[in-house]
Structures are given as C-alpha cells and as structure tokens.
Structure 1
Amino acid sequence: MEYNPTLPIYLQTANAIKRDIVTGKLPPGAKLPSVRDLAVEYTINPNTVSRVYKELESEGVCFTRRGMGTFVTEDSAKIDMLKKEMAGTLIRDFLEGMEQLGYSRHEAITFLENEK
C-alpha cells in the first residue's frame, strides 16, 4: 500500500480494511489477520496495527474475542451504514473537486451523468 503523507497511517490502514469489508472481500464474521501478520502485510509497526484495530472496534466495525482474535462485525446494518458513509465521502470529495475546477454542483452532476 502506498501511503499519503498528509493522513496518519493508522487511518489509511483502517480505511483500507473498511473498504475490504464493504466490498465483501472481508465478509461479516471474518477473522482479521493477527497484529503481526497485518503489520507485515502493510509494512507498518505492530503498534500501529493495534491502533487500527482499536479504532475499528470503537467504530463498531470489528470486535475482539480474547485469545481468539479480531473479527469483522456480523451486523449487516452497520456494514450498510459504513458503505453509505464511505460513498457520501467520495461524492462530497468529487463535488468539492469539481467546484474547485469551476463547475457548479449541477454542472458536475450533469458531467457525471454523461460520463461513460
């Protein structure tokens, strides 16, 4: 993974895991990699992974079973809500970028509708 220097690595990693959850790559109830395995996979410090898992747990995206590991939430409503939140962020970023280019919101939407 290539990291953006303007955003903390733990947030970028958490967002990548959330993306895997909403796209189904990590289905509800799936066991997440161990802290060490994820640290190797993302080439980050294990302490950063612990922070990622703590963040995801505080958001209700995953849960930890002592001695067993960390798992994706089984709450499909939570996953649907997360997907909508992520989509909303993408849309807001798109509209903001288009406005910076001088397009009105209506023009940006029309541009999007005409794009193939």
Structure 2
Amino acid sequence: MDEVRRMIAVDVLGPDTPLPSVRQLAADLRVNPNTVAQAYRELERDGVVYVRRGQGTFVRGSAATGDLKRTQALVVAERALLDAHRNGLTAEDLIAALAKLNGEGDAS
C-alpha cells in the first residue's frame, strides 16, 4: 500500500493507470493473493484506487497528489521519529538534524 501511494505521490502512477492484477502482483512479490487483495481493498476504501469489475484496479483520478504527499510525509516522519527514539534522540534533535541536512542553518 505504501509503495502504491509513494508511486502516485511522485507521479510514477497517474490517474486511471491500471495496477497489476491481484494474482500477478502476488506472484511477483511471492505473497499470498489474499494479502494483495486486502491491500487493494484498503486502497479502494481510502479512495486511492477504484475497481472496474472484470477489468481490474486503477488509480483514482481524484487521488490528490498533494494529499498523498502529505500522507507519505507523515509515514516517513513516524518511522524516523520511532528510529530516533530508539537511538535516544528527541523530536527536536531529529528536526535539527533534518534542517542541517536541508541546509537551513547550523544545527549542531
């Protein structure tokens, strides 16, 4: 699910782009087809994709790229914050490090 959202956010998948069939993606990823079907159902429920019976699953044209980018930013931030906490860092430490990497001043 994260990868589909990421691909939409970075414009790899555009509106009405077909996704691989459940069976094909399950075979490619070597996972149970039920896992892929569940992911597709959740993406549909979230309004990211739509299903055309007998034709497949497609990227929803109204899947706002901005909304998906914000969602992906939250996912990335959550992972980074969890990793920071595991390493004894605070959110402020992480923000300062990100600012320094982004060239926004001296964060020592």
The TM-score with structure 2 as length reference comes to: 0.78
Shift of 1:64: 0.4
Report the equivalent of 2:72.
Answer: 86
Runs of 4+ with deviation above 4 angstroms: none
RMSD, aligned α-carbons? 1.9
Query: What whole-Å deviation, never above 9, does each CA across 1:16-59 have from its counterpart, x for those lacking one?
Result: 22222222222121011111211111111222221121111111
* Identical aligned residues as a percent: 36
Report the equivalent of 1:64.
Answer: 51
Higher relative contact order (CA 8 A, sep 6+): 2
Q: Which amino acid aligns with 1:102?
A: G
Change (3 A) 1:45 1:101: closer
Query: How many residues are aligned here?
Result: 102
Gaps of 5+ in 1: 1-13
Q: Distance in 1 between matches of 2:95 and 2:4?
A: 29
Q: Distance in 2 between matches of 1:49 and 1:96?
A: 27
Shift of 1:82: 2.1
Q: Distance in 2 between matches of 1:75 and 1:47?
A: 26
Q: Distance in 1 between matches of 2:36 and 2:91?
A: 38
